[in-house]
A and B are shown apart, each in its own frame.
Chain A
């Protein structure tokens, strides 16, 4: 079976500090990978998605970046955090369009507080 991991689970960082969040998927190959951010009490904002190693599409211009160094690893980074970067960061994966479309499977999330 497939599992998706995210770490850390919670993070408190000062403004201007760097960020690195990691997501790994087990039990599948060549998944589509996604990073979302959810502000408190709000909906999902798609940040990045990737259909393969080194292929990253950015949805929102901001101070965040993403990389996919391995097939099942997706990393979200920032060189300098802003207060507005606080939120719940969710990683998700999907298969490449099969009998269940692009049904997404979400990781447990990282709760980031920028102080």
Chain B
């Protein structure tokens, strides 16, 4: 059974600092997604990583995927308060028919001035 873990689950960091959120999954998976959820709001897609070694960057966020290690990272550079949110990773497997996407528990990020 595919399981997805994230760490840390809670992260408080100062503005201007760098940090990395980790997403581990238990079985071979081919694709990984990162989502952001602002407090009280819905989720929005951040990154789609479709192959081993994929790297995507948007502003101060950079995501990467290592399918051999079953690991994705979300790196935050020079954090700003606007990045405070909960970040979810999700994984699925390429198959001929639909196979469900499994979400991690989320990492709640708080950026402090």
Chain B's interface size range is 20 to 34
- In this complex, how many residues of chain A approach chain B with their Cβ under 8 Å: the count is 25
| Residue contact B31 to A102, C-beta cutoff 8 Å | yes
Is B83 on the interface with A (CB-CB < 8 A)? Answer: no
With A43-B106, A106-B43 known, 17 other A-B pairs at CB within 8 A are A43-B105, A44-B103, A46-B100, A57-B100, A59-B100, A97-B94, A97-B98, A99-B50, A101-B50, A102-B31, A103-B48, A104-B35, A104-B43, A104-B90, A106-B35, A106-B42, A108-B41
Contact B98 A96 (CB under 8 A): yes
Whole-angstrom CA separation of A108 from B33 in the bound complex: 19
With A43-B104, A43-B105, A96-B98 known as contacts, the answer to whether A103 contacts B45 (CB < 8 A) is: yes
Known: A43-B88, A44-B88. A101 touches B42 (CB 8 A): no
Binding site for A on B (CB under 8 A): 31, 33, 35, 41-45, 48, 50, 88, 90, 92, 94, 97-98, 100-101, 103-106
Secondary structure call for the A interface: loop
Interface residues in A19-68 by Cβ distance below 8 A to B read: 32, 42-44, 46, 49, 51, 57, 59
Interface assignment of A112: CB less than 8 Å from any CB of chain B: no
Q: Are the CB atoms of B45 and A90 closer together than 8 Å?
A: no
Known: A43-B103, A44-B103, A107-B42. A102 touches B50 (CB 8 A): no
20 A-B Cβ contacts within 8 A? A43-B105, A43-B106, A44-B103, A46-B100, A51-B98, A57-B100, A59-B100, A92-B43, A100-B48, A100-B50, A101-B94, A102-B92, A102-B98, A103-B45, A104-B35, A104-B90, A104-B101, A105-B45, A108-B42, A109-B41
Q: Which residues of B contact A103 (CB under 8 A)?
A: 33, 45, 48
Partner of B33, one of A49, A59, A104: A104
Q: Is A90 a contact of B33 with CB atoms below 8 Å?
A: no
Give Cα distance in the complex from A62 to B26, angstroms: 27
Residues of A within 8 A of B90 (CB): 104
Please, which residues of chain B bring their CB within 8 A of the CB of A96?
98
